[in-house]
Amino acid sequence: MRAVHAFLNFLLRLLSSSKLALLLVLLIILLSLAGTLLPQESKFKPEELTQWQTEHPAVTFILRPLGLFHVFYSIPFLAAIFLLGVNTLTCTLLRFFREGGISTLKGQEAFQNTGFIAIHFSLIMLFAGGFWSAARRLDGFILLTEGQSFIEEHKGYLRISEGLLHQEHHKGFLVRLKRVSIEYKKNRYPIDITSHLEIWMNENKLAEDTAKVNKPFAYQGLTFTQDQTGFSPRLMIRHKESGRLLVNSFIALKTFQDGENMKYQDFLPLPFFKQRVVVSLYPSYTQFDGWVEKTGEKPENPLLLIEMEDGSGQVVSRGHAALGEKIEMNEYTFGFEDLRRWTSLRVVRDPGYPIVVIALWLGVAALILRYIPDLWKWFRIERYSQKKD
Amino acid sequence: MAQAEIILFWVTIFLYVGAFCIHLFGFVSRKIQAAKLAVWIMWAGLLFHTATAVIRWVAGAHPPVTDVYELNLTGTWFTVLVFLIFEKLGKLEKSIGLVVIPVTFLVLGFGFMSRTEVVPMGPAFQSPWLVVHVIFAWLAFGCYVISTGAAVLLLLRKKRPTWRPALKIPEPEILDLTSYRFIILGFTNHAIMLVSGAIWAKLLWGQYWSWDPLETWSLISFLYFAFYLHARSFLGWKMRRAAWLVIIGLLIVGISFWGVGWFVPSVHPGI
């Protein structure tokens, strides 16, 4: 019994030790350093990560078992955060009761003590909110071309990750992208992006709203955040001789930042092509001496450029078609039938967020409260004493 | 970059460098008037600095906070302003300017070496949180720089206790307290910067924290200063030990602001 009591005493002393807190803070700092300097699974494409690991076999051999390729989700990091939470809680409670409980919140050092307790309470709230977010969140991506719909269910997402405690209760409603509007400055720089969305259920329109950059659209606990946009040309490909229709669909071209300009391009991963076919789009263009040049980002007179490359990446044939035109290249006929925009939206359900926001503001307020007397003394009393001198 | 802006920028740099040289001259030759003149030149520098920022603001039709050059222009403006206001209020010694001024013109020069062309503000920046986030980030930086200034002077004094330059350098205990107080101010601003950044990130990216390298480094520097405050309170780390902690802290903050973007790709705009 005495041994148990001694052990519990030791545990309490350990958990309430400020040295342990400092050690844990240092450990979190070191692990975070590793997380930013080493390639992380969450930030790198799998093939890039594999390549890095192949190039650094010795380092990988040591780092992999330590979980340093996914530091922020690794057991040591989560354990350090959890321990810091427990340490903060025990430290705060012990200090609070040791120094007289409620009575410490009165008297000469009332501000400092209240601030001190509130800072640490806000930290505990932050840990709790963070864990709740991680455990119960849904984080998905969808990509829609104007006119397309998405059904809110697991398989509807392009990419989805869910917390350990997130239960599969998808809403099942339908999200339709009505249109995407982009405001440009000087016909070149996008300054506002808006996706106009509709929510449908059993053929009834339930809501209609917009998701803008910095102004997400929230519906039934899900937040739709505006991510990227680009162009989806409708491409019709036929076999030239037989006239057989091979492709008739919208192709969402990737959007790249190319210096000051945007670039809309992708390749067609279609099995029947002997060469690599790269499709690019100029939203508006001008033509002189057989050359075409992009003139802006607004789709005023779009032009589709098609290039066929051989195995070494050399362009073997090149052609372009304005909207509604057709071109013949090798044994195929390409038709540029329509042009729409696509948008990608991040869909998030995060029940921990309100707790986190309250904790953050409480923390700031508590920090101010904790240090007001020190600063007040600095500004008022010391100045007075200087004048007096 | 407009011609007027280039001229104003170089006048600003010239004034800050001039202020530093005069300050240094006063420091080593024990001429107190030189320090006073240096502070007046700093005020003049701040005036031109303000004009440069205003011209930039007008040319870009947005606050100068979107790329490295603009961020450095704004950040150093806050640093100098905080230093001069506290000096005017009698809360800081002029000699701390010996550290503040070189940091200012080095950061300005670093910004000038990056792209200086005016670019319209992208959709991500169209948020009221941008102003809050950036202002508090730079206020924190300014406070950390001033705190480092006090820490450097403290180390100089501690290293040579008999050393008595003409400039009034306070006792090490006062320098230690000044350094600590500016860490408190910086830490509070740092906290508001992180909170506003988290709220903005939620609106912009759908999540308040994404372990982005810049975010992570910002947290690292925040935790580092939390460590400093705890070490001071509970382990009694004061004077020289605390001064070294502050200097290392400024290096970590510097890496967060300018170093991370060089080594690791970040979704964070402006680095």
Amino acid at B126: Q
Residues of A with Cβ-Cβ distance to B146 under 8 angstroms: none
pTM: 0.86
How does strand A291-296 pair with strand A284-288? antiparallel
Give yes or no for residue B265 having a pLDDT over 70: no
The nearest CA of chain B is from the CA of A348 a distance in Å of: 6
- In angstroms, the CA A331 to CA A289 distance is 27
Confidence band (pLDDT; 50, 70, 90) for B118? confident
Identify from A36, A189, A217, A370 which residue to disrupt to test chain B contact, counting B C-beta atoms within 10 A and taking the largest count: A36
Residues whose CB falls within 8 Å of the CB of residue B228, separated by 6 or more in sequence, listed in order: B183, B237, B242, B245, B246, B249
pLDDT higher at A195 or A54: A195
* pLDDT per position as a tens digit, B70-115: 889 999 999 999 999 999 888 888 888 889 999 998 999 888 888 7
Q: Region A349-355: what's the mean pLDDT?
A: 91
* pLDDT per position as a tens digit, B23-74: 888 888 777 788 889 999 999 999 999 999 999 999 888 888 888 888 899 9
Say what the pLDDT of residue A168 is.
67
**CB-CB under 8 Å, A353 with B188:** no
The residue behind tokens 């670093």 is B110
Q: Region A190-213: what's the mean pLDDT?
A: 90
Confidence band (pLDDT; 50, 70, 90) for A46? confident
- In angstroms, the CA A371 to CA B180 distance is 11
- Phi, psi dihedral angles at A175 (to 5 degrees): -110, 125
- The neighbouring-strand residues paired with A347 are A140, A224
Compare CB distances from A360 to B124, B195, B234 and report the shortest one's residue: B195
Angle between helix A75-98 and helix A18-37 axes, rounded to 10 deg: 150
Compare CB distances from B216 to A32, A185, A186 and report the shortest one's residue: A32
Q: Name the residue among B48, B52, B49, B19 with its Cα closest to residue B36.
A: B19
The nearest CA of chain B is from the CA of A328 a distance in Å of: 39
What ipTM does this complex have? 0.83
**CB-CB under 8 Å, A37 with B207:** no
User: Are A227 and A343 contacting, i.e. CB atoms less than 8 angstroms apart?
Assistant: yes
The residue behind tokens 């003409």 is B166
- In angstroms, the CA A65 to CA A60 distance is 9
Give yes or no for residue A354 having a pLDDT over 90: yes
* pLDDT per position as a tens digit, A252-301: 999 887 767 788 998 887 777 777 889 999 999 888 877 888 888 888 88
- B127 to chain A, any CB pair closer than 8 A? The answer is yes
**CB-CB under 8 Å, A29 with B224:** yes
Compare CB distances from A363 to B119, B121, B191 and report the shortest one's residue: B191
Give yes or no for residue B270 having a pLDDT over 60: no
| Virtual torsion, Cα B186, B187, B189, B195, nearest 10 deg | 160
**CB-CB under 8 Å, B181 with A378:** yes
Confidence band (pLDDT; 50, 70, 90) for A223? very high
Give me the total of CB pairs closer than 8 Å, taking one residue from chain A and one from chain B: 120
> Residues 41-100, chain B: which have Cβ within 8 Å of A?
89-91
- In angstroms, the CA A40 to CA B81 distance is 40
* pLDDT per position as a tens digit, A81-100: 888 888 888 887 787 777 77
Say what the pLDDT of residue A386 is.
47
User: Are A191 and A183 contacting, i.e. CB atoms less than 8 angstroms apart?
Assistant: yes
**CB-CB under 8 Å, B195 with A378:** no
The two structure tokens encoding residue A323: 């909207």
The two structure tokens encoding residue B73: 């222009």
Residues of B with Cβ-Cβ distance to A26 under 8 angstroms: 227
